[in-house]
Each structure stands twice: as C-alpha cells, then as structure tokens.
Amino acid sequence: MQQRFANIWFRHLITDWVVTERPELANEQFVLAAPERGRMVVKAASPKAIESGIMVGMVAADAQALFPALEVIDDDPGKAAGLLNELAEWCIRYTPIVAVDLPDCLMLDITGCAHLWGGERAYLKDIVIKLRHKGYEVSAAIADTVGSAWAVAHYGQDKRIIPPNGLSGALLPLPPAALRLEATVLERMQKLGLYQIRDFIDMPRSVLRRRFGQQLLDRMDQAFGHAIEIIQSVKPAVPYQERLPCMEPIVTAVGIQIALKRLLEIICRRLVKEGKGLRTAVFTGYRVDGKVVQIDIVTNRGSFNVMHLFKLFELKISTLRPGMGIELFVMEAPVTEDVTEVQKKLWNTQADSGNVNLIELLDRLAGRAGMETIHRYLPDEHYWPERSVKIADSLLETPQTAWRIDRPRPIILLANPQLIDVAVPVPDYPPVLFRFKGTVHYMKRADGPERIEREWWLEQGMHRDYYCVEDQDGARFWIFRLGHYDHDDSKWFIHGFFA
C-alpha cells in the first residue's frame, strides 16, 4: 500500500489559543513576549499585529512605542508543545499515528485511513473545518512523504493534495525553504539566485554537498521519497485496530450496539486469519464535542467469538455517555495471544463445550465484578508457604511443578502471617491456648512440628515450626513458631485455616 502523510500547519498556534481563552482579543493587536538578555522580546504576534509590521524577535518596548494600544502578554515557553500534544491526541480520531512537529505542526500517517471519510479530499476537509471551528487557522496538505506534505502545507499555492507518485510536479516550483533547510543555507542559495527547487535539483550531488552541506541532500531525499523519514507518534500504535466513522453522530444505545458488533466482526475476522485471539479489547467513541468515551473488557483466554465478546461489552454500554453524538468508533485489541487449532475447534464441538462455557462464564463474572476478583492459582517452586503459589496469567498457563500433597496444607492461606498471643509454651509442643482477634482458642489436638527453613538465597532469618491444631469447637488452624522455643525473639503466628 502506498504510504500517505498529512501535514497540519498552525499558522498562529499560540495567538489563536489566546483568542480562544480571551475572545475579546479576536480582532486586536497583541503579542506574547518573554525575557531575553534583559529585554522583553516578541515571541508570537497576532495576525493584526503582523499586518501592522510587528515581527517575532522585536523588542516589546519598541513595538509598544510604535503602537501604544498594543497589549503585551507574558509568553509560556512550553505552551506550544503542550498545545500540539493536546491537538495530536485529538487527531487520533483520524489516524492512530500522529506526531508533533515543533514548533507549530502535526504530522499524520494517514495510510489506509482516508477511504473511511470518502477519500482524501473529504478527509482533509473534515480535519481543517473542525480545527477552524476550534479557533485555529491551519494550512494542511497530503502527499507521499513527510517532507513533501510539509512543503506543500507551508508553501503550496493551490493544490493541497498531491496524487501518488506526483511529487516532482508539486515540489519543483517551490522555494528552497520548502525543504526545511537552515537559515544560513537558504541565505547562500538566495545570493546564488536559486529561487526554486528546480533550479538546483539536477546539479551534481557532490557540488551541492560541497556548497551547502549534507543537510540539503538529506532533505531532498526525504522530500522526494529516496530516504525514509520516521515519525514518532504521541501514542504507540495498536497492531489490531479497526475504525468506523459515522455519517451522522450516534446518540442511541441501539446505534452504539450496531457499531460495536460491526467492529467486533471485522477485528475477529482478522484475528482468525492470523491465528490469534484477543485478551483485552477497548471500544472508544469520539464525540462531536471533542471528548472521548470508552469501555474495555478482559478475557481469561484468547477469544474471537463475536457474540461472546459482544455480551461482555454489552454489560458496560450503559456507562457510555454519547453527549451530542459520537462521530467515530474505534475497536482496539492491545493484548492478544496465539490460538491453536484445538482451541479454534472448541467453539463448534460438543465434547469441549463445557470448557468453553466455563471460560465464558468466568469472563461474564469478571465483566460484572471486575477481573481482579477472579484468580487462578498455580504451584510455584518455593518452600516458604506464602511464596509457594502464584497467580496464573491465563487459563492456558500450565504448572511448572506439582501441587504438594505429602503434607497437610490449609484451605485458606493468609498472604501475611498474623501474630497471636499464646500461653507459656512447652518446648517442642504447640501452645495450650492462643488468642486471635480477641477470641481465646484452647487446644484439643495438634500435629507437628513441620520445620520449614527460610530460603537463604532470598533473605536471611529464622526458620518456622508449623503445627496443625484443633480448638475446643473443632476449628482447625495452621500456626507456627518463628525460631527455636528458647530464642529471645521466638513468636507465634497463625498462617491458615483448614476446612
């Protein structure tokens, strides 16, 4: 697929933002200034101020001397970068790859996206109109490369969409500044009468390098597609993502359900072809007022069962607030896992339907109560009881060691042993009684001790002597003494409960 890029140039980024905050300045002369070498210097000027001859770099006091009514506003050096990041995140509704190009541009990789809006012309028009409604004066262009899109957005006159493989005709009439060259290089070219790219494009590369440096050759190669230019998106692109723009904003639950099911069908069809199933999915809606709403699900096993996934999402659709309408829906699968041929057959065979039903039941329970409420445990290779089990990441994960069944282990194991008060203990025997949470337990039966040494390669400390004990009411506990009975630091703890 032919790569396509769009460049969005904010002609007056900072001053446009100031006007959105203070509408009374819309047709007024004002500048933003910051201290520089002991003087306040103009860093940005409103269109009206520029028309009057005020330029960036002027001393603010000189500008005020010429125009006494000129308002000078303190500039925030990091404001441009912050605004561009916010606008880049807003533009993610048009493509998953949006990069900030300081000081006043955004670069979009729109490969495979424009057809969702009915073509590149409608796509670019939609972006420009909505940004202008936000209060920003923008110039935008689409071309095959990052450099050519930037050049046409800044210096193109009429044609803003360069057709595939049409770079030469679009770039040759443009000035050398369209190649993003340094000011010193542009000055030398001006003196030599090189006013357009066509004036030097056919010169020997060795001559251009000797006179103007390697940067000129690099920028030419990038603009004409002879060298790759990588852009860094403000958000990492998700490999599995599908988009569904709407002709009219969607405000009803039924409309949201239709969009959800359609996106699930598309993304699951792709997952099946690649032998994968999704473990997490995010359904995002971009509202016409610029806000973003989303819901997500998590599965216990890689799945591409559209109806099952739809039911998981359906539990959360009521939490979406469409506001004045959602104009774009996006489905993402950030986490996927390989699905074997056996797993694929599970959806259609009777023999394994119980396994599938169990998995789907767990997914629905997790959707209602939260994934953190359901855990699967596996044995782990540790002696210390609280380290001897671990939470499985998936239902497909297999244990690396067997469960220990040669010794009694409690049904409920406390994550952290809790200190108990005991009567004066008898050496190498459990206590006659102990107090736990205000209740006194008298020992009727006991079994032990089972000594478990501390794992010295992980930490230093004393061993534990465990006892299985039963109190007067028949309740059974797993308690231990830390260290030897005659040790000064010897203490007793409860660690678990038997059935």
Domain positions in the chain: 1-237, 241-369, 412-497
pLDDT tens figures, 154-171: 998 777 899 998 888 899
| Domain at 1-237: CATH code | 3.30.70.270
- For residues 48 and 159, what is the distance between their CA atoms, to the nearest angstrom? 27
pLDDT tens figures, 90-139: 999 999 999 999 999 999 999 989 988 889 999 999 999 999 999 999 99
CATH of the structural domain 241-369, one choice from 3.30.1490.100, 3.40.50.10320, 3.40.50.720, 2.40.30.10: 3.30.1490.100
In 3D, which of 491, 462, 488, 461 has the Cα closest to residue 479? 491
pLDDT score of 247: 84
Residue 8, beta-bridge partner list = 106, 140
pLDDT above 70 for 331: yes
Cβ contacts of 482 within 8 Å, gap of 6 or more:
462, 463, 464, 489, 490, 491, 492, 493
Cβ contacts of 209 within 8 Å, gap of 6 or more:
216, 217
Mean of pLDDT values over 36-56:
91
The dihedral sign for the CA sequence 14, 19, 21, 25: positive
Cα–Cα distance list, 304 to 102, 110, 199, 310, 371 (Å):
41, 27, 57, 10, 19
Q: How confident is the model at residue 268 (pLDDT cuts 50, 70, 90)?
A: very high
Instruction: Return the H-helix or E-strand segment holding 306.
Output: helix 306-314
pLDDT above 70 for 358: no
Do residues 70 and 63 lie in contact, with contact meaning Cβ atoms separated by under 8 Å?
A: yes
Q: How confident is the model at residue 360 (pLDDT cuts 50, 70, 90)?
A: low
Phi, psi (deg, nearest 5) at residue 55: -125, 155
pLDDT score of 66: 87
pLDDT score of 365: 66
- For residues 47 and 350, what is the distance between their CA atoms, to the nearest angstrom? 72
Average pLDDT of the chain to the nearest whole number: 88
Strands 276-287 and 292-303: antiparallel
Mean of pLDDT values over 413-417:
89
pLDDT score of 4: 95
In 3D, which of 300, 314, 310 has the Cα closest to residue 343? 300
Instruction: Return the H-helix or E-strand segment holding 398.
Output: none
Do residues 485 and 427 lie in contact, with contact meaning Cβ atoms separated by under 8 Å?
A: yes
* Region of poorest pLDDT, from 72-76, 98-102, 277-281, 421-425: 421-425
Same fold, 1-237 and 241-369: no
